[in-house]
Structure 1
Amino acid sequence: MQPFSQCQTLVLGAGIVGVSTALQLQARGRQVTLIDRDAPGSGTSHGNAGLIERSSVVPYAFPRELRTLLRYGLNRQSAVRYSVAHLPKAAPWLLNYWQQSAPAKLARAAADLLPLVQRCVEEHDPLIEAAGLQHLVSANGWIEVYRDAALFAQAKQEALALARHGLRYEMLEREQLQAREQGLDGGIGGIHWLDPKSVRDPGALTRGYAALFVQRGGQFLHGDARSLQAVEGGWLVSTQRGPLLAQEVVACLGPQSAELFAPLGYRFPLGIKRGYHMHYATTGGSELKHSVCDPQAGYVLAPMARGVRLTTGIEFAASDAPGNQVQLKRCEALARQLFPALGERLDDQPWLGRRPCLPDMRPVIGPAPRHAGLWFNFGHAHHGLTLGPVSGRLLAEMITGEQTFTDPAPFSPARFA
């Protein structure tokens, strides 16, 4: 066998979850090597809406109302689109997701996730400061905009029901909404959530965290997680510098996680929600000051370093299927009505990303049930950027034997055994 180098802890995957996990382990004295096929922050971490979503205390659930299901079933909506060819394969996962979205189960999932969501900003903040990335982050929250009076009234009631969580928000009637975000047109009102933070370049934030990891003595290597194999003394993986032996491995591979866990015999029900983004110029000297969500249409407009980024909702299609612009075009048409200053496209092609999701709406965080020294941290759905540092902390506390800040049992890989 070719001579190999060694490390104490190997983290596979340099998205926001992997980089954050590497930093949290490093802060607890572990000697860590971070591996990815690509540069840090190149995958899903690059293309999200850029929200550190402190106010999302209820997971994105499968709709239960018959009217909503029928509307989505026609496959003409902007918020959700599906590939007809992919639907038979996705149906069992979607049924499981629907079952887990029943009110009592959803409430349990929200309660389990709450300790992570509550700490998301405070775990990001010291990393942002240490990496010198304050210029990328704004603490001005984000705005939900409503075009339908009944939906706005319902949203107000739902916001009031979240008062026990101490969330800060302001109800905005039409005039207040237009004063808060002057370029908007057509919204009858909105809710300005004040606790979240917005990131004007999520990929740059992840790369900045990775640079901080290297600055603090960590090692980043290009390598292929699919080469991982259990050997005497630990785990062996192929890298650009040859084989690397690690005592312990943390898999943070997001939507590619199945490429590692399936060959090892695990059958986690990992689903993929695809999504797109496109950047736009603005016209007439207008600017978007806040990230704006149209929950009815399922898209987000966010001010980014490259322009205004439109991020779409959910597309159910084969992970490796070619991109389809139908959903983006639907969202774009609605976004131009809401924000008329949305100008020309700035990207040659839409970016296509893949959100790794479990049907019970909880990530997988913890030790592999049947392999000593192997740990998992994946499946953060729509909230990888939000939960990266805090889920990295939870796993690092578990690995190093610290008292965990919350009970990790709800996220255990063993729940799918």
Structure 2
Amino acid sequence: MIYLDNSATTKIDSSVLETFNRVNKLYFGNPSSLHELGETTTGLLTQSRRLIAETMGVQSEEIFFTSGGTEGDNWVVKGTALEKIHFGKHLITSEIEHPAVLESIKQLENLGWEVTYLPVDSRGIISVENLKRALREDTVLVSVMAVNNETGSIQPVEKIGEILKDYPSIHFHVDAVQAVGKIDLKLGEQSRIDMAVFSGHKFHGPKSTGFVYVKKGRKLAPLLSGGGQEAGRRSGTENVPGIVAMAKALKITSEKQIKIQSKLTIELEEYLDKKKNIEIFSPKHRAPHILCFGIKGIKGEVLVHAFEKKGVFVSTTSACSSKKKTESSTLLAMGIPKITAETAIRVSLSEENTQEELEKFIKIFDEIYHSFKVIL
């Protein structure tokens, strides 16, 4: 098996899984309980929060645990809108955000908030000047992803931050789910980013784990109300085994090199460039783990299943849309015709992929490519 769908989810690291199982077995107490077992699990949460904060270069009290990227994005978008409703009802985002952001914003739009959706160019990147022109006195949120999950395009987060330094009352939210271990994302005092969302299963941690960075002093209305866990910001009994395992996975990922991913995707791109009737949708400057392309006249889902029969696992575009059999909204926003966007597949690597796997993939691709010669 060759697994090349790491943007959808990564395989949990074996040592991380061992940690999850050990904590689940031995430290199963509720952190809110007053007895010794509860105190022990509280200590594990504190250690995990500290480890994540140190890894990300922020303070422990700026880290809040969630169930993953979807919850995190929903919380930041809706929490900002509710918290700052008396200051304004204007939101800014891009046309190619993850559905967790776009659907949250559309929900608010239906409830009366005004939204500016920034277009992207042929590389899938927004114009900083367009964003600057979109800012208004009643703008309360700018939400832009760091790395696009379909094409790997990298948004100019630092340049956006420079502009927003003149607008201290606006929350700047970054969906950083695809960024961990892939690009250098600066958080903390030196950064204008107010909130950043992360998901454990994207960096070899357990599914249904995640965390949100909230800069000290920034206020968010809770999305989940209840027992007041996570300093009253995210109620619900904490997933201690998952959190401890996620913290370990983040530490391991941060210490690994990403050069192999960049090398392999560049080699694959060079190989595909030599083929006729292949269009590469990912821009040259992109995150090192993603390459999106298509074969003219061959629907992406057909290609995905052809690879699957050979023991190779890729996806159409995002995992969220692949089963719906819809074309990529990101590619359409980039100006790619619908019929062309329907051919797209995404290869996404992790640091576990090898040169040998790439060579096998290319050999299998050749076989599949020539099997479509009648169409081509």
TM over 0.5: no
Q: TM-score range with shorter-chain normalisation?
A: under 0.3
Considering Cα pairs closer than 8 Å and 6+ residues apart, tell me whether 1 or 2 has the greater RCO: 1
The two structures have a TM-score, normalised by structure 2, of: 0.25
Structure whose residues are more often helix by fraction: 2
